[in-house]
Chain A
Amino acid sequence: MIISVASGKGGTGKTTVAVNLALSLNNVQLLDCDVEEPNCHIFIKPIFKNKNTVFIPIPQVDQTKCDGCGYCQEVCAYNAIAVINKEVLIFPELCHGCGSCAYFCPHDAIKEENEEIGVVEIGRKGEIQFIHGKLNIGKMTAPPIIRAVKKYINKKKTVIIDVPPGTSCPVITAIKDTDFVILVTEPTPFGLNDLSLAVEVVRKLGIPFGVIINRSDLGNKKIDEYCTSEHIPILMRIPFSKKIAEIYSRGDSIVEVLPEYREKFQRLFTKIKQGKN
């Protein structure tokens, strides 16, 4: 079973839920797909054994073969190619690596060369197989790295995916093809607004989901009302505690310091499995 942990709003506790759920289960894989700002490793402290570079293919023009016909510019949907005075200019930061320019060039003058955009690291901590991706500084496109991380999914294990905040392409790439989505929110107007956006995304993808309310005793009751009226199950509530905030701040996990939480996360997992069936 693949469970993704998402939220819309940042800083609601995705990583906390993903890490502590992973630490409470057996035979588990934890994938950190927040490749812009990966944090799970801070709490898991894995030993990394392998590292793979992620590339996207960027076109290179062989000037000796190019006659400046401009067909590559015509097929490029991203304005990543401009042909000026029969000279081809490539703008790699706009390129999505679709490959159509190389395929359609009538003179076979375009080759694709790999450009590094990030890395995937694979490691282990006790029972947990841990994989995360990291986008290189200054690079724009997270989805190819997320796809590279998800290639390691082992369906024989319980797979937990930490998803980036937001509602756009990196989030979709991370959530797609998972069996259940946990949406972590907080009871504030910001939390509610971003939760309702995240709900729209998950509904559009047609994946079953439920909500965890973090810092559940701060703020107001609007999240409860929203979930009731939308028939969304509330899977768990985590009250605000300075103790938990402090455990988090120094990079420790809740279940290791407060063992009673282990059972709570195991119950969460049981609920999700039951809800799925």
Chain B
Amino acid sequence: MKQIVIISGKGGTGKTVIAGAFAALARDKVMADCDVDAADLHLLLDPEIKELHVFRSGVTAFTHKERCEDCGVCKTVCRFEAVREDFTIDPISCEGCGFCSFACPQKAIEMKANTSGKWFISETRFGPLVHAKLDIAEENSGKLVSLVRQKAKEIAEEKNYRWVIIDGSPGIGCPVIASITGVDCAVIVTEPTLSGLHDAERVIDVTKYFNVPAKVIINKYDLNCDMTEKIEHWFKDKNTQILGKIVFDKAVVESVVEGKTIIEYSDNQVTKTLRNIWELLQEELEKEQINLKE
């Protein structure tokens, strides 16, 4: 079983559209949506939820004002600006460290358990999907990402499936790191813009830092062919394989509006390129496996 994650650094380059396409093309796979604070893959896969679980993580301080003597120790020790002037707690700023609660001489601050989100195991027309919804303004998205990945992997192992396909989140911080560590391949989706290149450079460095093999797709490449050429050179210099280049086509937006993957929606150039990309990616990953065996 191999795990593939789709990331980009910059948002809006086409991660979810490509993850949806892989869902339609790959056989024997489990899908995992690890963009837990703005998950969208379910909009293409139309999941039927089979299991719903609550994700609990961390604690938040709460001041019992009837016991509080306004000494202000809590405000002095808190480094997250979470204690208000009246020594009640701003739950959004509180990081749940518990320092105030331990330090309070009156024992007036209680640490209450959070409900930080929900996660689901669903069935879709392309097979199982593990996805999640982080509650609004909650933290610990990294932990929820790890949980979603773990469940997807367990399902794949149990069913003896070949692939876990992970839709990642933008950025390079905690949820991205949680979604890439230990995968077999990170597919980086970029676009021919200076921002796209700048962000891909940073995300490539993150994959190197965590020793994750990376390959690249240039999406909407014909929006600026000079920039595409620049990006191709840049990745070649970095010895990073480019899996393919996808043209800009309004049909992609239409397919999303219809709630379909582009593979189902049209047999256009985008679909053909994605078929080739998936074939190539499969071959490359299988080749690597043979090399390892030798």
Contact = CB atoms under 8 A, between A and B. Distances in A.
B198 A190 contact: no
A270 B33 CA distance: 40
> What are the 10 A-B residue pairs with the smallest beta carbon separation, nearest first?
A10-B11, A11-B12, A98-B97, A36-B171, A251-B194, A100-B99, A249-B224, A249-B193, A10-B170, A140-B174
A206 to B, nearest CB: 10
Residues of A contacting B: mostly:
loop
Interface string A17-61: 000000000000000000011010010000000000000000000
Contacts of B171: 36-37, 142, 164-166, 170
B173 A170 contact: yes
A190 B173 contact: no
Contacts of A100: 77, 97-99, 102-103
B72 interface: no
A77 B100 CA distance: 12
Contact of B257 (A37, A97, A169, A220): A220
Contacts of A205: 92, 137
25 contacts: A10-B8, A11-B10, A12-B12, A77-B58, A97-B79, A98-B79, A98-B80, A100-B77, A103-B77, A103-B103, A137-B202, A138-B209, A165-B169, A165-B171, A168-B37, A168-B134, A172-B137, A188-B257, A189-B259, A190-B256, A193-B43, A204-B92, A218-B253, A245-B223, A248-B193
A8 B97 CA distance: 27
A135 B136 contact: no
B198 A39 contact: yes
Interface in A89-127: 96-100, 103-104
B137 A77 contact: no
Interface residues of B, number: 64
A197 B142 contact: no
B39 to A, nearest CB: 8
Contacts of A176: 92-93
Interface of B: 8-13, 16, 37-38, 40, 43, 58-59, 77, 79-80, 92-93, 95-99, 102-103, 111, 134, 136-139, 141-142, 169-177, 191-196, 198-199, 202-203, 205-206, 209-210, 223-224, 227, 250, 253, 256-257, 259
A245 B220 CA distance: 11
Interface residues of A, number: 57
Contact of B170 (A37, A75, A78): A37
B136 A200 contact: yes
Q: Which of B9, B93, B194 has the most CB of A within 10 A?
A: B194
Contact of A218 (B134, B141, B210, B250): B250
Given A98-B79, A193-B38, 4 more contacts: A11-B12, A11-B170, A77-B97, A99-B79
A10 B98 contact: no
A166 B170 contact: yes
Question: Most A CB atoms within 10 A — which of B13, B95, B141, B172?
Answer: B172
A42 B134 contact: no
Nearest to B176: A36
Given A11-B10, A201-B136, A249-B194, A140 B79 contact: no
B139 A168 contact: yes
Given A169-B139, A189-B43, A190-B40, A141 B77 contact: no
